[in-house]
Amino acid sequence: MLLQLLINTLIVGSGYGLIAMAFRLMYSVSPFFNLTLGSVVAVSAYAALYFTPSLRAGAIFPVVAIAALLSWALEAFAYKPMRDRRASPMILLVASLGLYTIFESVISLAFGVKYHALGDGAQIYLGFTTMPLVQFLIIIFNFAVFAGLSVFLHHSFMGKQIRAVNDEAALAHMIGMKTDRIIMIVSVITGAILGLSGVLIGYDTGMEPTMGFNLLFKGIIAAIIGGMRNLRGAFFGALFLAFSENVAVWAFASEWRDLVAFAIFITFLYLRPQGIFQKKVEA
């Protein structure tokens, strides 16, 4: 029972982790709650539904490219013009809510509101258990993205620029950093990660038009648990959230999953809003 609980935590936590890390990366350079990131996940899943019959496993490549392009386009044509007009984070949030609603409606009109499944049933034997291949890939990609982003942010010139914008955007702009260019690059990386997560989650649990908001909200909770300015926090916060949800499902029922997530969300906002891995700033 404990082994299965840990495996389920890794699977669910890895799905949350991909989205949490993408959200945290985008938030680091464009600090508002961008709900259209959830739309990118949903669009990616449905794009996989469209491409899979003809391209099979190769569908992941055009889907990730579409997700990266969509994320870039949203920044270039929606949010950058509003930032140029000095729109507040609240205005950007409301705009993202409107855009998310449009995407959800278009998906519903194009594919219907019914549930769709992509899974092909392929299994992998790990020596101590058997699991669907897609769940194994979710875990692998989660750790790979975490390792890749960590190296990129700490050991590349662009990564150091991103961290500088995260630490002090106004100062970074004053010393000559092209912050708009950095935001666009980050939006492409974020879109690619969300596209990957959309494909994998679509194959694992299927899809429906509202899936983007639900997944993004879990990713936001995971990022808040770990600390909004900390990539490591998003990674481990997702695992903590998944473990808590799975314990609730094991002890009570699956209906408790979202209740536990909301309870943890409110608890951290009230008791430790800076998250687990972020030090409290003294006044």
pLDDT in tens, the chain (283 residues): 788 899 999 999 999 999 999 999 999 999 999 999 999 999 999 999 999 888 888 889 999 999 999 999 999 999 999 999 999 999 999 999 999 999 999 999 999 999 998 876 788 988 777 899 999 999 999 999 999 999 999 999 999 999 888 877 666 766 778 889 999 999 999 999 999 999 999 999 999 999 999 999 999 999 999 988 789 999 999 999 999 999 998 888 888 888 999 999 999 989 888 888 765 543 3
Give the count of alpha carbons within 13 A of 233, CB side only.
20
Token pair, residue 270, equals 């009230």
Angle between helices 231-251 and 211-226 (to 10 degrees): 110
Pairwise CA distance, residues 107 & 39, whole Å: 10
Q: E-strand spans in the chain?
A: 123-125, 130-132
Task: Extract the tokens encoding 109.
Answer: 């009109």
CB distance 241 to 222 below 8 Å = yes
CATH architecture of 2-271: Orthogonal Bundle (1.10)
Of 94, 107, 106, give the one whose Cα is nearest residue 34: 94
Take residue 129 and report the two structure tokens written for it: 């258990």
Q: Which residues contact 56 (CB under 8 A, 6 or more apart)?
A: none
Return the domain boundaries, the chain. 2-271
* Residue with token string 């926090």: 233
Task: Collect contacts of 276-279 with beta carbons under 8 A, ≥24 apart.
Answer: 276/225, 276/226, 276/227, 276/233, 276/236, 276/237, 276/240, 277/226, 277/227, 277/230, 277/232, 277/233, 277/236, 278/226, 278/227, 278/228, 278/229, 278/230, 278/233
